[in-house]
Amino acid sequence: MVLRRRKGSRLGKRTSLKALPDLLLDWYGEHARELPWRVLPAARAEGVRPDPYAVWLCEIMMQQTTIPHGTPYYHKFLERWPSVDALAAANDEDVMSAWAGLGYYARARNLLKCAREVAQLGAFPETETELKKLPGIGPYTAGAMAAIVFDAPGAAAVDGNVERVMTRVLAVEAEWAEAKKEVAVVVQALVPDDRPGEFAEAFMDLGATVCMPRNPACGRCPVSKLCRARKAGEQERYPIKAKKTPLPVRKGVVFVAERDGAVLLERRPDKGLLGGMLGLPTSDWVVGGPSEALPPCVGDWQSIGGVRHVFTHFALELDVRVASVTDSLDGHWVKADAVDGLPSVFKKAFVLWHKQS
């Protein structure tokens, strides 16, 4: 395969990648990671197929976290809800609580919506086009499922690992946001008709274990002879990323109200950040801090310090205020030793209080 530079492209004059699929698949046959949701090459050769539910669950969970962090959540979900039908029938609050700690909570809401639609359909669709119609499934997840689960011809799973590998192989001079478009076209053209699923998983493994962001292990890379960045000795220069701008800082107050050994929690609105999650009462989160921070009940409120949490688009600094109260306010009063499943930002505040109580 010879990829010629199209007008406006920054791929270089000419790059031959004909050998890449075979090199990558041969390497994967020996070095495939054993993952709970994966069917290894030997088993695939015997006709064993991946479980669509398991692959979908892991793909949604691992989008914004690492495999070591996400795998325990995967096992807990699968133990509690072993099928898409079981998840579809689950209580929303139970699923949101089980998701706490994985972040990006809109994914948990979409997880439930998707499970319920699939349960109505009777099975997961087998094409990228139909998969993308489901809640929470975008181009990457649709491509990954179509390739890994259904071996759909031409289906490509282009995640950050794949993008990093190919920007180095091709020495793409465009910034990463633009390079993604170039890479997606190239990768799709490379997908072998007979083994799209293993090709997708091999690419992911290569980026995760060999062509890493820092200190890539080029001596172990099966496609190093094709890599233009390696030839130039500039592996870590790629992908070229835009300079980061400092995140805006929002400030607020979080309240820990304690009554008879129990802590007051509140359900956040379904829409918005941390939507539908149980958390500690807070003020608004605004740049410069809120004009006023009204506590949820009467008490002798004292500040015990602050916590900081970084979201995708802003950093949050919260003043933690605590009080022992006698107010008969109704709400979610939970015994302190039974508090579990808080989003990370509230967990930090709770832990700060708990250490001092």
Q: Are 265 and 280 in contact (CB under 8 A)?
A: yes
Q: Which residues are catalytic?
A: 59
Pairwise CA distance, residues 194 & 346, whole Å: 48
Q: Which pair of structure tokens corresponds to residue 90? A: 């689950």
Write b or e for each residue in 14-37: b if 16 or more Cβ atoms lie within 10 A of its Cβ, otherwise e. ebebeebbebbbebbeeebeebeb
Pairwise CA distance, residues 125 & 140, whole Å: 15
Which residues does 20 contact at the CB level (< 8 Å), separation at least 6? 1, 169, 190, 223, 226
Write b or e for each residue in 196-222: b if 16 or more Cβ atoms lie within 10 A of its Cβ, otherwise e. bbbbbbbbbbbbbebbeeeebebeebb
What are the φ and ψ backbone dihedral angles of 286, each rounded to 5 degrees?
-140, 155
* Burial bucket for residue 160 (CB in 10 Å: 0-12, 13-18, 19+): middle
Measuring CA to CA, which residue among 196, 198, 212 is closest to residue 44? Answer: 198
Measuring CA to CA, which residue among 126, 90, 128, 140 is closest to residue 111? Answer: 90
Reply yes or no: is the peptide bond before residue 269 cis, omega within 30 of 0. no
Is the Cα dihedral 138, 69, 317, 300 positive or negative?
positive
Measuring CA to CA, which residue among 6, 12, 21 is closest to residue 228? Answer: 12
